[in-house]
């Protein structure tokens, strides 16, 4: 209970990630279908061997063609081509399927882990970066599994096989290739490492752009209202230009690398053709052997880029692994599923509770508070006085830094988290609805069946009955992203109904009528007055025009409860409350 909120987001010391971490992430969290993957690799191996064999058969075919005995070879060649085609298609499908399946499992694991992370984690991490981890970084891993790895395996097989057959065909010609290939490798490997670093920088800047765009799009109304389009455009342009700068460096290197390699390859082929032509003239080499040698030379050199590309891809994916591990290594919320089940909330007792989001910055100070079942409480105070933090402790989003919080005479830590939150209906001032229909939102998290008649009745009680009747789709109306297809006041009332559908024993309203006009505010007030007498309500109040209706008022200042009583008592005994009331109510 005395744990610090900051400890929930304390990160372990950074360490250097490597290939071993990548393999661990893939095998542990992606769980690729090993059987299909191995079969795909084997078929890829068969396809590569067939490709090498086709070249060797073409040699025999060309040589035999000159003697008129190529018919039988043509039939064999056709069979090998068919086998090579089948193996390539099957291998490509199986490896791609393995990659899709693995990345789907990884994304599901990552998604489920993020859903289970505690509130303090989200206090310290940006939404856009988390979404980039789920989409972009997992795509990098998919590319490695489904494409890069198999291409590199095929490349290695092709290089070894081609080199072996070239040595068998003509040792002297092979020496030329053995001189060229190391020279090409001396260029490709360091350039590949530079490209990997640039690619990692592009990934990082792309994640930053994704994060910024999510914030900009979600706050588009604020941007318009503050006429902030110009600085936001400049911010986006600067971010895009940073990505462009790295991308330009990348294409410069690639534009330089490819022509150099092509020239070296053409040079080697030219020397082979000239020297091979001499060997053909002297009868030391057949035309078929020369053609086959040239084809093997290409089959040996071309895969070099895929082999070195694997090194680059692994380095890129190691970076993605580190970022994904940062999430997966973050402890999920302890829901205390082995604890007791809370079936109702009768009493709540804060006993000298202190709390701070950071150890040296207390937000709540020595809170002593007893709440009994059925009480209607108004919680007021200036912004930043700790009102929302106080109710956040009730929701078990955080644990007290010191002191104890008891429910029904037992520590709140003895109950399971889901059962605590099942007993609490919470409506915030800033209401965001989930994507989907009105029914989806009203039944969000509901574990028991709720009839449409009950939903319709509750909507009517908060003044949404006529509006619901006018909607062609009724409860199946799509509320839009973040509920933007409905007005702010309608979202607020939908949120109130959503909280009441749960039949909670404690209802917390964080200025839940702030977006309503006087008529609908009165309707909601009347609805709350008809709620069961045993339902406890805590209302965070900013507009004090109906404050006299609350039998108990808690006044908070600087993280402390300095006033506790009804309106008349506080007006008479609490100077700060009296000033607060007169300023906000009498002078609007």
By annotation, the residues acting in catalysis are 511
Task: Give one DSSP letter per residue of 356-372, joined into a string.
Answer: -SBTTB-SEEEEEEEEE
Locate the DSSP E strands across 447-495: none
- The residue whose two tokens read 């839940």 is 512
Q: Hey, what are 280's tokens? A: 């053909």
Q: Hey, what are 564's tokens? A: 């506790």
Q: Helices 149-169 & 287-301, crossing angle to 10 degrees?
A: 150
Q: What is the four-CA torsion angle of 520, 523, 525, 527, rounded to 10 degrees?
A: -140
Burial class (CB in 10 A: 0-12, 13-18, 19+), 522: middle
**Helix, strand, or coil here: 574?**
coil
Q: DSSP letter at 516?
A: S
Inter-CA distances, 97 with 24, 103, 115, 142, 313, Å? 20, 10, 27, 10, 19
Contact criterion met (CB below 8 Å) for 161 and 303: no
Going across the sheet that includes 410-411, the strands are 364-372, 347-355, 402-407, 410-411
Q: Are strands 364-372 and 560-565 parallel, antiparallel or unpaired?
A: unpaired
Phi, psi of 228 (to 5 degrees): -100, 20
347 CB-near residues (< 8 Å, 6+ apart): 370, 371, 372, 373, 406, 407, 408, 409
- CA 115, CA 250: separation in Å to the nearest integer? 36
- CA 494, CA 464: separation in Å to the nearest integer? 8
Angle at 410 between CA 409 and CA 416, to 5 degrees: 135
Angle at 549 between CA 564 and CA 575, to 5 degrees: 40
- CA 425, CA 391: separation in Å to the nearest integer? 11
């Amino acid at each position: 209970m005395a744990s610090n909120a900051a400890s929930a987001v304390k990160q372990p010391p950074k360490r250097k990630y490597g290939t071993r971490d990548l393999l661990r992430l893939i095998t542990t969290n992606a769980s690729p279908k090993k059987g299909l993957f191995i079969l795909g690799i084997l078929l890829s191996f068969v396809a590569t061997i067939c490709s090498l064999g086709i070249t060797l058969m073409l040699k025999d075919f060309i040589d035999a063609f000159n003697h008129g005995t190529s018919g039988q070879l043509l039939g064999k060649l056709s069979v090998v081509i068919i086998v090579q085609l089948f193996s390539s298609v099957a291998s490509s499908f199986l490896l791609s399927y393995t990659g899709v399946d693995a990345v789907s499992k990884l994304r599901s694991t990552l998604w489920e882990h993020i859903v289970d992370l505690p509130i303090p984690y989200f206090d310290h991490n940006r939404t856009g970066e988390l979404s980039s981890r789920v989409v972009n970084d997992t795509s990098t891993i998919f590319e490695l599994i489904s494409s890069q790895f198999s291409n590199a395996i095929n490349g290695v097989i092709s290089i070894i096989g081609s080199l072996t057959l070239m040595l068998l065909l003509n040792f002297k010609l092979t020496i030329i290739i053995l001189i060229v290939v190391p020279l090409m490798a001396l260029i490709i490997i360091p350039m590949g490492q530079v490209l990997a670093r640039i690619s990692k920088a592009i990934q990082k800047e792309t994640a930053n752009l994704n994060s910024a765009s999510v914030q900009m799009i979600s706050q588009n109304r604020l941007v318009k209202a503050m006429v902030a389009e110009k600085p936001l455009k400049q911010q986006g342009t600067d971010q895009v230009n940073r990505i462009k700068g790295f991308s330009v460096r990348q294409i410069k290197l690639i534009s330089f690398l490819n022509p150099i390699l092509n020239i070296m390859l053409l040079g080697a082929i030219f020397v082979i053709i000239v020297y091979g032509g001499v060997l053909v003239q002297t009868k030391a080499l057949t035309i078929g052997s020369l053609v086959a040698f040239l084809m093997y030379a290409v089959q040996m050199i071309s895969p070099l880029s895929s082999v070195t590309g694997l090194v680059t891809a692994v380095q890129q994916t190691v970076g993605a692994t580190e970022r994904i591990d940062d999430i997966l290594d973050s402890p999920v919320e302890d829901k205390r599923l082995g604890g007791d089940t809370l079936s109702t909330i009768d009493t709540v007792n804060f006993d000298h509770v202190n709390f701070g989001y950071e150890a040296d910055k207390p937000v709540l100070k020595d809170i002593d508070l007893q709440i009994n079942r059925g009480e209607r409480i108004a919680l007021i105070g200036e912004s930043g006085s700790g009102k929302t933090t106080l109710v956040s402790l009730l929701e078990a989003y955080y644990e007290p830094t010191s002191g104890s919080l008891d429910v029904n005479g037992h520590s709140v830590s003895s109950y399971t988290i889901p059962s605590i939150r099942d007993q609490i209906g919470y409506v915030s001032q800033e209401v965001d609805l989930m994507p989907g229909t009105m029914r989806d939102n009203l039944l969000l998290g509901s574990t028991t069946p709720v009839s449409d008649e009950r939903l319709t009745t509750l909507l009517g009680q908060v003044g949404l009955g006529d509006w619901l009747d006018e909607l062609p789709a009724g409860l199946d109306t799509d509320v839009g992203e973040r509920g933007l297809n409905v007005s702010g006041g309608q979202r607020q009332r939908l949120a109130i109904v959503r909280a009441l559908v749960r039949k909670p024993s404690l209802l917390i309203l964080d200025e839940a009528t702030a977006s309503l006009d006087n008529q609908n505010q009165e309707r909601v007030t009347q609805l709350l007055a008809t709620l069961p007498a045993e339902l406890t309500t805590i209302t965070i109040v900013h507009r004090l025009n109906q404050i006299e209706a609350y039998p108990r008022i808690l006044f908070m200042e600087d993280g402390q409860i300095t006033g506790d009583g009804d309106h008349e008592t506080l007006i008479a005994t609490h100077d700060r409350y009296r000033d607060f009331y007169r300023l906000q109510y009498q002078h609007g």
